[in-house]
Structure formats: C-alpha cells, structure tokens
Amino acid sequence: APKIVSASKRHPIVPLPAGQAYKYGTAGFRMKADLLEGVTFRVGLIAALRSRKLNSQAIGVMITASHNPAIDNGVKVVDPMGEMLEQDWEAYATLLVNAPTDDALLETYNKLATQLKIDLSTPAKVIYGRDTRPSGHKLVGALADALDATNTEAVDYKILTTPQLHYLTRCTNTEGTPSSYGKVSEVGYYEKMAEAFVRALKGRKIDGPLTVDCANGVGGPKLREFLKYVPKDKVKFDVKVVNDDVLRPEVLNLDCGADFVKTKQRAPPSPKPVIGARCCSLDGDADRLIYYWVDEKTGFFMLDGDRISSLAASFIADLVRAAGLEEDLRIGVVQTAYANGASTSYITQHLRLPVVCTPTGVKHLHHAACNFDVGVYFEANGHGTVLFSAEAIRTFGAKEPQSPAQKDALDTLAAVADLINQTVGDAISDMLLVEVILAHKSWTMRDWAVTYTDLPNRLVRVEVADKDLFRTTDAERRLSHPPGAQDEIDQCVKKYSSARAFARASGTENACRVYAEAATRVEADELANKVAQIVK
Ligand code: 16G
Ligand code: ZN
C-alpha cells in the first residue's frame, strides 16, 4: 500500500477547475494528453482491481484518442473477452480518478476492494498497448508504475491498433481452452486474419486496386504488416497504403481518416482522388472504416457504417439461406439513431431483417447484437462488427451439407466468422470483409451504392451552457429534458416530408449534437438549424 502512495506522487493528478470532474465516458477518459498522466496511473489501479475481481483474468488497457487531434490522448479498459469495461466499473474508475490527494486515492482504492470483496493477494494481470501519439510513451510509464505498485503481472504490447489490443485480451484469457480465440501475439492476429481472408475468398477475384487512407495513424504500419501475411500466389490483393506517415505526429487525423471523410462528406485532399478508384479510410486507431469513390459523372460518393452494415447483413443472410439454416439462426441488425432512415427501411423491408436501435457507444450496440445468433452492428461513423453466437459457429462446422452449394455456403460462413473481429469493430478486419463480399457478389462500388438512396442529412454541433440538461429516452431519439423541448422539435419535424430529427448531449465533448434528415438537402439543413435553435 505505501508503494501505491509513493508511486502516485510521481504521477500526480491535475486538479480540474471547481465544479468539474474527470469522467469515464463512452471512450474511457479522453482529453488533452497533459492532463492524463495521473489519470492513466489510476486507471492502472482500476485494471488491477478488475483482474483480481475476475479471478486473475487478464484485463486490457488501451491508450489512444482515436480520431481526435494529435495533442489529445485517452485511456480505456478492456474486459476479459475483449468487450468494453462493464458499466458499474466505469463509475468506480471515475471515483478513483477523482480522488483529490494521494492518500485519498489509497483510501478509495482500499474501500473499493472491501466493497467489491476483492482479495488483494490474488494474482492480477494487465496487458496494454498504445497508438502512435508521442504522449503515449509517458502515459504507459504511469500505467506500468501502477501495475508494479500493485504487484500486477504486466505485458506491454507497445504500439497496436485498438482492435488488436481487444483481440489479444481475449486470446490471453482463452489460451489453451476449447474457445481459444487465436494465438496470443500480434503475429497471431495477422495469421488468423490472412488465413480466414484466403478461405473466405475461395479463389474469387478482387476487382482492381484498393486505396487505403490510414489517417497517418497506427493503422498504416499495421496494415502494411498484415499484407505480408497474405499469400501472393493465392490472392491478388493490390492495396495502396496512403496517409501512413507516423513519424510526424502533427499530421495524425489531419485532413484525412474516416472521421474526416464522414463528417466532411468528401475525400481527403491528399492523395488526389482518382476517378473510379475504390478507396477507404481508417481512423487514428483503426477501429472505424468508411468506403468511398469518385464517380466520373456524379462525383464523390460515400459508403459509411450503415452501408457496410447492410452489405454484411445481406451477404450473411443469403449465405445462411443457402446453407439451409434460416430456420435455425436469428439474424439481426443493430443501429443507433444516427443510422440513415433509408438504410433502416432497406434492412427491414428489403432484406426483411429485424433492426434494433440503441444509444450511441459501442458497448450498447455490442450488447444488443449478442441477443441474435448473428448480430450485425455498426454506427454510421464506421465502427462496427458482426457477432456470431457459439452455437452459430458450431453449426457452420457441424451441419452435414446436402449439396455442393450448401457446403460452399457453410464454409464461407465459417471463414467469415473467423475473419471478423468478434471482440470489437476493427477497420482492417471490416475492410477485408467488404472486399470478400464485393468479390463474391462481383460488385463494383456503383453496384453497392445503388442498393438504396440515402436521405439527405445534416449533423450540427451546438455549444450549450450545460449539456447535462439534455436527457434522452427511446435510444436517444427523444428528449425527456428539458421539459417542452421535444414538443418543439416534434412541431418542427411535422413541417417536412420524410423527416426525422433528434438532439442529444455528446458523450465525448462539452456540446450537444443535432441530427436531421429529410427528403431534400435544403429541408434537412433547414430542419437541423431549427432544431439547433431550440436546443441553444
Ligand atoms: C465514442 C464511441 C463511439 C461514438 C462516439 C460518439 C466507443 C468505443 N466509441 O467515440 O462509438 O460514436 O463516442 O461521440 O464507444 P459523441 O457522444 O461525442 O457523439
Ligand atoms: Zn477509433
């Protein structure tokens, strides 16, 4: 215990202005990197407690601020199967991080241990990684000190994508068991994905080159590394890796990356877009993916998380039918309020699959997707994955095929389940899935784009005095507070055709967000501005 206090003194917490507190939000703790050293030390203490609470299973800690500016950083905790930290523990993390002094910290730590019936002599294990931000190095030092001070076994995986850390956490905890998720190493991740990629393609050709914008983040070097594991004699996969400069930290996420493309609704200015070329962008920690291309006649066209979701759902539903499993497996799609209404209609009416809406944040979508045998979940921003139940995976291997076509479908389903990162949305894995699906369907970008037409939409950020006044219900689609605000929004929406709008407090910034969609561009813009006025 004295070790915790002396170590904490080396990583002091920065006091916030009166009335403010650190909060474990949807992205863990995320802020300017210079505020994070003490926070990261304390997150180390929480991770160690969590490991001890869960019978010494390994807990993951990832240091990244994803698509945010290079000067930001963040720290979040990964649960044993690679999921997001359990919600109750977000509150414990918040409590511990806000302890005002080193002694108060120790007191809170001991109180938590007693309250949660944690035996502090139980062994603990924490594995961690970081993105390419220079500040990550110092934060890892603080984390390591916390693990050392609590006698916690630590494994430093150095620089990783966020989904790689999730993968490694699950592999560590399933190693040597029947549910082993793969080899416990970065190489194991590449090998597993490359093998599944080849198997899922089964000789089908990928059409032309793919340009991948890596946001000048960790995805660049990791994608290059992955490509070495794709056997050239089996698959011709012509990838042009661009925006992969990780040596100049200031260019991270700057005018490139998935968040840029999604929010600006245009291609990164560099490299100069090539007409007709298939392109995609990853974000700064490679857990988001957006596809796009520039059409000769119609210009820039974006295929976001909703598009990837409906593409994956349609492909998997077809395979499940072809495998004769439609009576056995329940397939569902999970979206948030940000999903374009046209995508929701396409999935429910055309694909005839159920759609569930949850609040923003991966943990909510992931949780809802677990209720299906095959749960496809994506946020419009490009974060998502497909979850297969253990029973579904068993069935793909165990079902006796009645025809060569059934066998082909079963094999492809098994390969796809291995290809998709089951722990969290993974841009590299999702990209390989999209490439596999386009190859199977022999689709061009245009074929994919014409499946449905997006409703014009607008997202605006509204500065408000106190965002906490805005409380939502119905998966963030309606405001319950402040009183009367929702009625005003309803009155506005009524005046437009095919319109929908909502307002919610951001979980990552001190602002509100307003989303509106309507039949035309002009109407969507107008509606978004009117709702923003109501919120202001
Ligand atoms: C976080 C979430 C992301 C969500 C975003 C919304 C995770 C891992 N990340 O980045 O899924 O879309 O927050 O931010 O859950 P907002 O609340 O500021 O709109
Ligand atoms: Zn990210």
Counting from 1 in the atom list of ligand 1, the atom nearest the Cα of 425 is 8
Same domain for 391 and 466?
A: no
User: Side-chain half-sphere of 231: how many Cα atoms within 13 Å?
Assistant: 12
For position 109, what pLDDT does the model report?
98
> Which among 412, 433, 449 is the end of a domain?
449
Q: How far is 3 from 351, CA to CA, in rounded Å?
A: 59
pLDDT band for 358, please (50, 70, 90 cuts).
Answer: very high
Same domain for 79 and 101?
A: yes
Q: How far is 162 from 5, CA to CA, in rounded Å?
A: 30
DSSP per-residue codes, 450-465: TT--PPPEEEEEE--S
> Which among 449, 479, 509 is the end of a domain?
449
Same domain for 354 and 488?
A: no
494 in any annotated domain: yes
Q: For 81-131, how does the pLDDT look when each residue is reduced to its tens digit (9 = 90+)?
A: 999 999 999 999 999 999 999 999 999 999 999 999 999 999 999 999 999
Count the domains in the chain: 4
The mean pLDDT value of the chain amounts to: 97
Residue 1, pLDDT > 70, answer no
Same domain for 148 and 277?
A: no
Residue in the block written with tokens 């990780």: 246
228 in any annotated domain: yes
pLDDT band for 510, please (50, 70, 90 cuts).
Answer: confident
Q: For 446-456, how does the pLDDT look when each residue is reduced to its tens digit (9 = 90+)?
A: 999 999 999 99
Same domain for 117 and 151?
A: yes
Integer-rounded Cα Rg, in Å, for the chain is: 23
Same domain for 143 and 79?
A: yes
441: CATH: 3.40.120.10
Instruction: Provide, rounded to the nearest whole percent, the portion of the chain with pLDDT above 90.
Output: 98
Measured from the CB, is residue 26 less than 6 Å from ligand 1?
Answer: yes
Same domain for 242 and 140?
A: no
490 in any annotated domain: yes
How far, in Å, is the centroid of ligand 1 from the Cα of 361? 5
Range 185-194 average pLDDT: 98
Q: For 399-442, how does the pLDDT look when each residue is reduced to its tens digit (9 = 90+)?
A: 999 999 999 999 999 999 999 999 999 999 999 999 999 999 99
How far, in Å, is the centroid of ligand 2 from the Cα of 510? 19
Same domain for 322 and 413?
A: yes
For position 2, what pLDDT does the model report?
79
Alpha-carbon torsion angle 445, 451, 453, 455, nearest 10: -110
Q: How far is 528 from 492, CA to CA, in rounded Å?
A: 10
Same domain for 260 and 151?
A: no
How far, in Å, is the centroid of ligand 1 from the Cα of 80? 21
For position 385, what pLDDT does the model report?
98
Task: Point out the ligand nearest to the CA of residue 461.
Answer: 1
Residue 136, pLDDT > 90, answer yes
Instruction: Provide, rounded to the nearest whole percent, the portion of the chain with pLDDT above 70.
Output: 100
> Which among 278, 302, 326 is the end of a domain?
302
Measured from the CB, is residue 426 less than 6 Å from ligand 1?
Answer: no
Q: Whose CA is nearest to atom 11 of ligand 1?
A: 361
Starting at the edge strand found earlier in the chain, the sheet holding 29-32 runs 29-32, 72-78, 58-63, 125-130, 153-159
pLDDT band for 319, please (50, 70, 90 cuts).
Answer: very high
Give the distance, in angstroms, between the CA of residue 321 and the centroid of all CA atoms in the same chain. Answer: 29
Q: Which two tokens stand for residue 165?
A: 């850390």
Same domain for 29 and 145?
A: yes
358 in any annotated domain: yes
Counting from 1 in the atom list of ligand 1, the atom nearest the Cα of 513 is 19
103 in any annotated domain: yes
Q: Which of 335, 362, 365, 509 to mutate to test the pocket of ligand 1 (most atoms within 8 A of CB)?
A: 362
The SS3 call for residue 518 is coil
Domain residue limits at 93: 2-159
Catalytic residue list: 66
Q: For 200-240, how does the pLDDT look when each residue is reduced to its tens digit (9 = 90+)?
A: 999 999 999 999 999 999 999 999 999 999 999 999 999 99
164 in any annotated domain: no
Same domain for 65 and 152?
A: yes
DSSP per-residue codes, 72-132: EEEEEEE-TTS-BPPHHHHHHHHHHHT-SSHHHHHHHHHHHHHHTT--TTS--EEEEEE-S
Range 299-311 average pLDDT: 98
500: CATH: 3.30.310.50
For position 509, what pLDDT does the model report?
84
Q: How far is 63 from 132, CA to CA, in rounded Å?
A: 10
How far, in Å, is the centroid of ligand 1 from the Cα of 425? 12
175 in any annotated domain: no
Counting from 1 in the atom list of ligand 1, the atom nearest the Cα of 511 is 18
Residue in the block written with tokens 């920690």: 285
- Evaluate whether 171 touches 422 at the Cβ level (below 8 Å): no
Same domain for 18 and 138?
A: yes
Of all residues in the chain, what percent are helix, strand and coil, respectively (each to 5)?
40, 20, 40
89 in any annotated domain: yes
Counting from 1 in the atom list of ligand 1, the atom nearest the Cα of 338 is 12
